[in-house]
Structures are given as structure tokens and as C-alpha cells.
Amino acid sequence: MKYRNFGNTDWQVSEIAFGGWQLGGTWGPVDDSESIRTLLHAYEQGINFVDTAELYGDGRSESVIGQSLRKWDGGQIYVATKVRPIRWPDPDEDRPEMRGRYPRWYLRENIEGSLRRLGVERLDLLQLHCWAPDLATSLDWLETINELRLEGKIDQVGVSLRDYRPNEGIVAAELRLVSSVQVIFNLFEQRPATEGLFEACAKTNTAAIARVPMDSGSLSGMWTESTPSTWMENSVQSQLFGGDRFAVTLERIERLKGVVRPYFESLAEAAIRYSLSSPSVSSTIPGMSNIKSVDRNVAYSDGQQFPEELLEKIAEFNWPRNYYKISSPA
């Protein structure tokens, strides 16, 4: 396992992290005991950074991770969690007003809940689950967060950007308001690397966390025309890729496979390696539901560089679209 600096902190985090959304049960049936075994195996393989949120299964993901931490007797595991706003802004609104969406009583209540579920005295990284540029000047949230930091309940603070809007994180990085910015970054969403976000992170030593590197499963390379029939009703996948979206996505996947095939054994390998291609990325957080998926992803942490030639070839596959607007935010 390779490790990277986490922005301006003294943390050394595994470049492959453990994404914990699926642990909440909204992607399909999960067995908590199996989830704990998978987490412990990930820790044994060198993964020391886990991302979760209260939203994921209404605290279930946090609780499962907390149980795994109590069973773990090895080195430091950094846990990043999130607090959602009391009211989500409309995903189509360009500049939503954010003052009052993270009120003091609400933040305190949620942080106490996360601490309890995780079984820790201090959160390593608390992320606002929805960041919008108005929060750079509407700083009521920051007053409460700083109170909690002074009380020793939060170490570092980060933000998770709205889906489909990577450039909204530039101001957070430029103002050095937070230690980290979490953003969708994958073969279909390349804008963080091309439109200034990662450049802003590099200038201010703000950690970038790459989320959904597999595009919520599409870039695993394992989809076929019959894949939707295997999805749980009302699961995240069925919402994201329902209707005509699946066929459109599958067609692009098949074309992309042909482009990456001369360079990598699988589309999944290309996807993970691309998500690590920027030095601004401290960690990428694929979801992992079993030991096999852990081993597959860990194997890609070997220092191999993403081919410059291939970066040019995949540029045409940049495909901004907001499929997440009909689902639970990531």
C-alpha cells in the first residue's frame, strides 16, 4: 500500500481508502458481520482511511465502522464522516443561500450522534455533506465547528462538494477554510483535474478526496444488458441508472473499454488508477462490499503512473451529468 500526505495535516493516509456508503444497506442487502470482516481485512491490507456519513443508512454505516474499530488492534485508522444540511438545496440551483442550513443545535446533535456510533471521543475529519459557495461568507456553521474543535470533539474539517459541481470547491480551497475537499473524480468526471479545482488544492495544500472512482459501479467493467435485473428495488443503482440511462451508460462503457484495453487488464484497473493520477488527490474512496473487492483495489496501489498518452485519449469521455439529483446525495 502506498501512502500520501493528507493536505496540510501530518497524516499519512492510504491512497486507497474504504468508501462506506454501501455499508448502510441502500445499495443492496448487507450483513453487518460480513461488513466488519471486510473492514478488518482492509485494515490488515494497509487501508487506514475510511469515509462514511450519518446519511448512509441513517447511521448504520457509522455504527458498523465503529464496531470494526473496536475489534481492530493495529495502527491508526482515520475516519472521515459527514453531516448533511438540515435542508438540502435544489440540485439545479446555481447559488443557493446556505445560511441556517447547519444550525448550531443541529450540528452539535449530529456530531454527538456520530461520536457515539463510531465509539470515539474525537472525529478525525468532519465534512459538511453539502458545500455551496455561499458558505464561504455565510459562516454561522464555522462558529459552531470551531467551538467543537476547541472542545476536542473534531480534529480536521472538510467539505463534500455537490454532485456535478466540482468548481464550487475552488473557493473553499483558495480561502484555506478547510483541510480537505471531497469531489467526484473518475473517467467520466474529469473536470476537477482540468478546470482548476486540483490546481487550487495544490496551491493551498488542501487534500482532495476522490469519490465514486467507479462511477457507482459503471466503471467496474462488469455490466451487461441484464445487470439492472440484479439490483434491489429502489436501490441507489436503480435510481441512478434507471430508464434510458443504463443503455446510454453501457454504450459509453463499451467504447471506453476499447480505449483502455491496450494499457490495462480491465476497466476497473483503469478507473482506480485514473482516480489516483493527480498528485493533489490524497486518497480515492471506492466502495468495497467484500474481501475480494478489497484485494482487487489494494493491488492497484503500486506506484504505477497513469500513461500520459492515455490521458489524452480518454479526454473525450468526460461526461458531466447529474444522475445523482434523483438519489440520496453521495
74, 41 contact by CB (below 8 A): no
Burial class (CB in 10 A: 0-12, 13-18, 19+), 326: exposed
List Cα–Cα distances, 36 to 42, 44, 70, 169, 294, in angstroms. 10, 12, 10, 33, 13
Q: Per-residue b/e over 112-137, b at no fewer than 16 CB within 10 Å?
A: eebbebbebeebbbbbbbbbbbbbbe
Residue whose C-alpha is closest to residue 13's, from 58, 36, 57, 46 = 46
Question: Residue 149 CB: number of other CB atoms within 10 A?
Answer: 17
CA separation for the pair 30, 52 (Å, rounded): 16
Confidence label for 46 from pLDDT (cuts 50, 70 and 90)? very high
Give the pLDDT of residue 323: 79
Confidence label for 330 from pLDDT (cuts 50, 70 and 90)? low
CA 276 to chain centre: 13
* Mean pLDDT of the chain, nearest integer: 95
144, 120 contact by CB (below 8 A): no
Strands 18-19, 49-51: parallel, antiparallel or unpaired by DSSP?
parallel
- pLDDT, one tens digit per residue, over 130-176 is 999 999 999 999 999 999 999 999 999 999 999 889 999 999 999 99
Give the pLDDT of residue 327: 45
The set of cell numbers assigned to 44 is 490488515
Residue whose C-alpha is closest to residue 267's, from 174, 187, 325, 191 = 187
- 329: pLDDT strictly greater than 80: no
The residue with cell 476522490 is 210
Average pLDDT over residues 316-323: 91
Give the pLDDT of residue 69: 98
The set of cell numbers assigned to 6 is 493528507
CA 31 to chain centre: 22
Domains, in order of start, for the chain: 3-326 (3.20.20.100)
136, 177 contact by CB (below 8 A): yes
Strands 12-14, 3-5: parallel, antiparallel or unpaired by DSSP?
antiparallel
Q: Which pTM was predicted?
A: 0.96
Residue type at position 272: I
Average pLDDT over residues 195-223: 96
Give me the count of residues in the chain: 330
Give the pLDDT of residue 78: 98
CA separation for the pair 153, 41 (Å, rounded): 28
Average pLDDT over residues 80-87: 97
Give the pLDDT of residue 328: 43
CA separation for the pair 148, 142 (Å, rounded): 10
3 state DSSP class of 16? strand
Residue type at position 300: Y
Average pLDDT over residues 78-97: 95
Average pLDDT over residues 234-254: 92
Cβ contacts of residue 327 below 8 Å, gap of 6+? 236, 239, 240
Give the pLDDT of residue 321: 87
Residue whose C-alpha is closest to residue 146's, from 126, 132, 129 = 126
